């Protein structure tokens, strides 16, 4: 092994950098070990030091396998190991389950009937293939019975893969409205598998399932790999799903292998993606010889934040009881609870406070705004943009870049500007059977009719274009006709004579028109409908329609030059924030019904409510120094406004642990 001179660190004093419980775990020689401990107690740190320790003991790096939950977490851990040991982490087998599966499958592809150069299909490729198959195989006789779109089928397919269930069971339990299409879906799924194999491609789920198949069906490979990895280490073990857990036990099943898993059952938040907290709870049963380490000291948060964290999780009975003690001292600010008059004011508060903090010397990258659902970030996005505070969103697309939001906004754009070609094309492509070519033809004809009409009525404002009158005469294909007419009628309803609809009403009208399309097009239409309801509320709080549209455009424009550097505040869903930490954390939209979600409340589902509670616990335990918990008393304004009581997570916090602010 070659090391640049001087780079190799002196032997490390592990005992000095770890507490006794961590040290015991890091240096254990038990074959099976579980570190189960609360948030911020140094579980990830323990794993990182364990790798360093193993290397110092002379274990070859290629005999260590380190599995983590996200790519980002994997990168950070490998970096830490490099810092600790001075060794290039590439020598080590480490990364997400998918990344490691990919690496192993490349070597043994032939055994499963693939070429080693197989392609990994990303989410878009997956949808594209599924879309082609839907087009070919959806029942032709179903004109109005809308067959589910590719996204929906991909979602169903994936949930089945990640829970190791038959897709038919998943369909009946989670997608009951699709039952009537079961035969056709089955046929499409068969084709889907065949086409992937033919094109030598695997989707993300295949990476896991194929690795599992490789290990199960090929004794020699299983023996080779489980003999090779002497030490298998897994972070965030509470969120492993069935195929992942099976892979772990096979890879760590060699005669000499050891397995160390770390996690916190109180932070299990991915059951909706097939994760099963039972894996961590049963670890001791499955490996009766396992050493179990508990760490009860928290190094991340100041005591005031830790008190709130402990109180937050106390309501749950479903987990190992553990009470965290703070390693840090200091009488910083009590966590703040802020009831804001409405969503706009809440966002304004967040933006102002961030501004003050940054002016006071706190860097943007030390601040995070966390929320339960992506759409909760909408107002904060607008407010941060207005205040020129750069931010980075890790929870997915920016709100206005999401397809279904763009679909709805397209109608508003075309209403204010009938010459908006992009909006027009987006709208007509929601009609069944309209592709590039027919969209182009429609656009040309639309423009033509519009020009003719404008020559006759030069003084009428653009918005007053009577759509049915102007465009009903256009030549359109017979199969598009009904959609075309419905669309024109809708456009006329959007500006009825003698009554100026509010922007909220406009959005509501478009949404109800689009609902059948949205339902059949997008996965999780429930959540997407919520996005659109929030869109309606935000439109109202943002003034006139054209002003709002300008803001939206501006927001997308600003996106492009946001530096991806250290000064960006992080906006993230709580799910994506797992394992991370920031000096200052805002948790927003903590209204009853928003978080916990009203569907969980209404269903009375105890397990579901416990998962909501764990999610809240994950959120508050991300904070090191300052924590702000806020909610809008009213969400939206005027006619559509919803009253929003504080979340039970807030009202159940002991009053002496928090500071209530008023704006
Ligand atoms: P989570 O449950 O959120 O994943 P975790 O248990 O993995 O948290 P870490 O992220 O490993 O916790 O540690 C939290 C913070 O505490 C980190 O900043 C880490 O460096 C620090 N820390 C952990 N243990 C110690 C220690 N013994 N001495 C000093 N700092 C520590
Ligand atoms: Mg961690």
pLDDT in tens, 310-348: 999 987 876 666 778 888 887 668 999 999 999 989 999
- Read off the DSSP letter of residue 334: P
431 and 510 fall within a common domain:
yes
Candidates 38, 39, 2, 44; CA nearest to 25 is: 44
Specify the number of domains making up the chain: 4
Closest C-alpha residue for ligand 1 atom 31 = 299
544 and 564 fall within a common domain:
no
Please tell me the distance from the alpha carbon of residue 174 to that of residue 191, in angstroms, as a whole number.
22
Residue 143 has pLDDT above 60, yes or no: no
Predicted pLDDT at 299: 94
Please tell me the distance from the alpha carbon of residue 31 to that of residue 27, in angstroms, as a whole number.
12
Among 163, 240, 267, 521, the active-site one is 267
Testing ligand 1's pocket by substitution, the residue of 44, 320, 326, 621 carrying the most ligand atoms inside 8 A of its CB is 44
232 and 210 fall within a common domain:
yes
- Ligand 2 centre distance from Cα of residue 245 (Å): 18
Q: Does 44 participate in catalysis according to the annotation?
A: yes
Residue 8 pLDDT class (50, 70, 90 cuts) = very low
Q: Return the residue matching tokens 């959806």.
A: 138
Predicted pLDDT at 90: 67
Candidates 273, 163, 156; CA nearest to 578 is: 273
Predicted pLDDT at 561: 41
102 and 211 fall within a common domain:
yes
Least confident of 41-50, 208-217, 529-538: 529-538
Quickly count: other Cβ atoms within 10 Å of residue 57's Cβ.
9
Residue 63 has pLDDT above 90, yes or no: yes
Instruction: Provide Rg for the chain, Cα atoms.
Output: 28
Predicted pLDDT at 10: 47
Mean pLDDT of 260-267: 94
53, 27 contact by CB (below 8 A):
yes
* Backbone CA torsion sign across 640, 645, 650, 655: positive
**Is residue 50 a part of any domain in this protein?**
yes
From 154, 169, 199, the end of a domain falls on 199
Predicted pLDDT at 150: 87
**Is residue 114 a part of any domain in this protein?**
no
**Is residue 9 a part of any domain in this protein?**
no
Residue 504 has pLDDT above 50, yes or no: yes
Please tell me the distance from the alpha carbon of residue 537 to that of residue 524, in angstroms, as a whole number.
21
Mean pLDDT of 291-307: 93
Residue 4 pLDDT class (50, 70, 90 cuts) = very low
pLDDT above 70 as % of the chain: 89
Predicted pLDDT at 487: 93
Least confident of 7-16, 354-363, 504-513: 7-16
Residue 256 has pLDDT above 70, yes or no: yes
Predicted pLDDT at 563: 47
Residue 231 has pLDDT above 90, yes or no: yes
Please give the distance of CA 11 from its chain centroid, rounded to a whole number: 41
| Residues pairing with 370 in the sheet | 572, 587
- Read off the DSSP letter of residue 621: T
CATH number at residue 503: 1.10.486.10
Residue 554 has pLDDT above 70, yes or no: no
Mean pLDDT of 130-150: 77
Q: Does 132 participate in catalysis according to the annotation?
A: no
Residue 2 pLDDT class (50, 70, 90 cuts) = very low
Residue 3 pLDDT class (50, 70, 90 cuts) = very low
From 503, 518, 553, the end of a domain falls on 553
Residue 6 pLDDT class (50, 70, 90 cuts) = very low
Quickly count: other Cβ atoms within 10 Å of residue 630's Cβ.
26
Mean pLDDT of 115-137: 78
Residue 388 pLDDT class (50, 70, 90 cuts) = confident
Q: Does 622 participate in catalysis according to the annotation?
A: yes
Mean pLDDT of 226-253: 94
- Of all ligands present, the nearest one to the C-alpha of 16 is 1
259 and 308 fall within a common domain:
no
Assess whether the C-beta atom of 42 lies below 6 angstroms from ligand 1.
Answer: yes
Q: Which atom of ligand 1 is closest in space to residue 38's alpha carbon? A: 2
Task: Please state whether the predicted TM-score (pTM) of the whole model is above 0.95.
Answer: no
Please tell me the distance from the alpha carbon of residue 577 to that of residue 582, in angstroms, as a whole number.
10
**Is residue 500 a part of any domain in this protein?**
yes
**Is residue 4 a part of any domain in this protein?**
no
276 and 226 fall within a common domain:
yes
Quickly count: other Cβ atoms within 10 Å of residue 300's Cβ.
23
Residue 500 has pLDDT above 80, yes or no: no
| Residues pairing with 94 in the sheet | 66
- Ligand 1 centre distance from Cα of residue 39 (Å): 8
Please tell me the distance from the alpha carbon of residue 348 to that of residue 625, in angstroms, as a whole number.
22
Please tell me the distance from the alpha carbon of residue 408 to that of residue 242, in angstroms, as a whole number.
38
Predicted pLDDT at 437: 82
Q: Return the residue matching tokens 């000095």.
A: 16
Q: Which atom of ligand 1 is closest in space to residue 48's alpha carbon? A: 11
Least confident of 81-85, 342-346, 649-653, 654-658: 81-85
Residue 542 pLDDT class (50, 70, 90 cuts) = low
Give helix 378-386 / helix 525-541 axis angle, nearest 10°. 40
Mean pLDDT of 430-441: 84
Q: E strands of 91-134, at which residues?
A: 93-96, 119-120
Using CA atoms, how far residue 247 sits from 213, 241, 517, 581, 631, in Å, is: 9, 10, 39, 29, 42
Note down the domain range covering 542: 401-553
CATH number at residue 273: 3.40.50.300
- Ligand 2 centre distance from Cα of residue 47 (Å): 9
Query: For the chain, give me the number of helices (H) and strands (E)?
Result: 28, 18
Residue 540 pLDDT class (50, 70, 90 cuts) = low
Predicted pLDDT at 484: 93
Least confident of 136-145, 262-271, 570-579: 136-145
Predicted pLDDT at 574: 94
167 and 242 fall within a common domain:
no
103 and 247 fall within a common domain:
yes
Least confident of 44-58, 270-284, 473-487, 633-647: 633-647
**Is residue 5 a part of any domain in this protein?**
no
Predicted pLDDT at 494: 84
Predicted pLDDT at 18: 93
Candidates 82, 35, 85; CA nearest to 58 is: 85
Please tell me the distance from the alpha carbon of residue 555 to that of residue 210, in angstroms, as a whole number.
42
Testing ligand 1's pocket by substitution, the residue of 40, 306, 366 carrying the most ligand atoms inside 8 A of its CB is 40
| Residues pairing with 643 in the sheet | 634
Structure tokens at 415: 């209403």
Assess whether the C-beta atom of 21 lies below 6 angstroms from ligand 1.
Answer: no
Q: Does 236 participate in catalysis according to the annotation?
A: yes
Residues within 5 A (CB) of ion ligand 2:
43-44, 579
pLDDT above 90 as % of the chain: 44
148 and 271 fall within a common domain:
no
Residue 547 pLDDT class (50, 70, 90 cuts) = low
Give helix 545-560 / helix 378-386 axis angle, nearest 10°. 80
Q: Which atom of ligand 1 is closest in space to residue 47's alpha carbon? A: 11
Mean pLDDT of 290-311: 93
Count Cβ neighbours within 10 Å for each residue of 443-453 and write b for 16 or more, e otherwise: eeebeebbeeb
- Ligand 1 centre distance from Cα of residue 581 (Å): 9
With H, G, I as helix, E, B as strand and everything else as coil, classify residue 446.
helix
- Ligand 2 centre distance from Cα of residue 73 (Å): 9
Residue 148 has pLDDT above 70, yes or no: yes
Mean pLDDT of 646-654: 95
386 and 447 fall within a common domain:
no
| Residues pairing with 632 in the sheet | 340
Among 45, 80, 622, 633, the active-site one is 622
With H, G, I as helix, E, B as strand and everything else as coil, classify residue 632.
strand
Mean pLDDT of 285-309: 93
**Is residue 396 a part of any domain in this protein?**
no
**Is residue 481 a part of any domain in this protein?**
yes
Please, what's the largest Cα pairwise distance for the chain?
A: 88
Please tell me the distance from the alpha carbon of residue 610 to that of residue 612, in angstroms, as a whole number.
5
From 497, 523, 553, the end of a domain falls on 553
95 and 223 fall within a common domain:
yes
484 and 544 fall within a common domain:
yes
Closest C-alpha residue for ligand 1 atom 4 = 579
Assess whether the C-beta atom of 263 lies below 6 angstroms from ligand 1.
Answer: no
Quickly count: other Cβ atoms within 10 Å of residue 492's Cβ.
15
- Ligand 2 centre distance from Cα of residue 226 (Å): 26
């Amino acid at each position: 092994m070659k090391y640049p001179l001087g780079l190799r660190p002196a032997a490390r004093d592990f005992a000095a950098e770890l507490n006794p419980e961590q040290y015991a775990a890091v240096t254990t020689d038990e074959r099976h070990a579980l570190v189960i401990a609360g948030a911020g107690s140094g579980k990830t740190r323990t794993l990182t030091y364990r790798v360093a320790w193993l290397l110092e003991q002379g274990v070859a790096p290629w005999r260590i396998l380190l599995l983590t939950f996200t790519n980002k977490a994997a990168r950070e851990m490998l970096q830490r190991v490099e810092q600790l040991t001075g060794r290039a982490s590439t020598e080590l087998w480490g990364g997400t389950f998918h990344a490691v599966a990919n690496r192993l499958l490349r070597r043994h592809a032939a055994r499963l009937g693939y070429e080693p150069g197989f392609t990994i299909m990303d989410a878009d490729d997956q949808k594209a293939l599924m879309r082609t198959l839907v087009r070919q195989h959806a029942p032709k006789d179903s004109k109005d019975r809308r067959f589910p779109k590719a996204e929906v089928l991909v979602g169903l397919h994936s949930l089945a893969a990640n829970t190791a269930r038959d897709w038919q069971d998943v369909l009946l339990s989670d997608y009951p409205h699709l039952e009537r299409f079961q035969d056709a879906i089955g046929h499409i799924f068969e084709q889907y598998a065949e086409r992937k194999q033919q094109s030598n491609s695997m989707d993300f789920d295949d990476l896991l399932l194929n690795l599992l198949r490789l290990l199960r069906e090929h004794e020699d490979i299983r023996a080779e790999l489980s003999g090779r990895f002497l030490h298998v280490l897994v972070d965030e073990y509470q969120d492993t799903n069935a195929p992942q857990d099976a892979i772990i036990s096979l890879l760590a099943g060699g005669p000499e292998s050891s397995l160390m898993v770390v996690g916190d059952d109180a932070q299990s938040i991915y059951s909706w993606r097939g994760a099963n907290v039972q894996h961590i709870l049963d670890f001791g049963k499955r490996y009766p010889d396992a050493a179990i380490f508990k760490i009860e000291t928290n190094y991340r948060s100041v005591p005031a934040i830790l008190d709130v964290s402990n109180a937050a999780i106390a309501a749950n009975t479903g987990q190992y009881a553990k009470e965290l003690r703070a390693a840090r001292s200091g009488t910083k600010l009590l966590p703040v609870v802020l009831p804001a008059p409405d969503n706009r004011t809440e966002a304004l508060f967040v933006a102002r406070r961030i501004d003050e903090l940054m002016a006071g010397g706190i860097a943007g990258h030390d601040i995070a705004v966390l929320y339960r659902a992506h759409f909760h970030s909408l107002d904060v996005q607008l407010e941060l943009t207005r205040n020129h505070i750069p931010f980075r969103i890790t929870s997915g697309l920016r709100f206005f870049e999401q397809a279904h939001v763009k679909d709805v906004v397209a109608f508003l754009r075309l209403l204010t500007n009938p010459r908006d070609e992009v909006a027009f094309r987006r709208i007509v492509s929601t009609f069944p059977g309209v592709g590039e070519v027919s969209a182009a033809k429609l656009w040309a004809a639309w423009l033509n009719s519009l020009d003719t009409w404008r020559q006759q009525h030069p003084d009428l404002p653009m918005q007053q274009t009577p759509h049915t009158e102007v465009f009903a005469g256009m030549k359109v294909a017979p199969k598009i006709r009904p959609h075309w007419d419905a669309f024109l009628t809708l456009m006329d309803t959007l500006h009825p004579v003698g009554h100026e609809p509010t922007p909220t009403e406009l959005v509501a009208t478009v949404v109800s028109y689009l609902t059948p399309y949205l339902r059949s097009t997008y996965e999780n239409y429930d959540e997407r409908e919520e996005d659109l309801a929030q869109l309606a509320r935000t439109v109202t709080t943002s003034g006139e329609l054209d002003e709002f549209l300008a803001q939206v455009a501006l927001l997308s424009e600003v996106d492009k030059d946001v530096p991806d550097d250290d000064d960006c505040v992080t906006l993230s869903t709580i799910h994506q924030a797992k394992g991370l930490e920031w000096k200052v954390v805002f948790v927003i939209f903590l209204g009853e019904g928003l978080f916990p979600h009203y569907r969980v409340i209404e269903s009375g589902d105890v397990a579901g409510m416990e998962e909501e509670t764990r999610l809240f616990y994950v959120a508050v335990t991300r904070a090191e120094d300052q924590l702000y918990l806020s909610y809008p008393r009213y969400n939206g304004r005027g006619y559509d406004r919803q009253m929003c009581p504080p979340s039970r997570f807030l009202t159940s916090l002991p009053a002496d642990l928090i500071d209530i602010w008023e704006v």
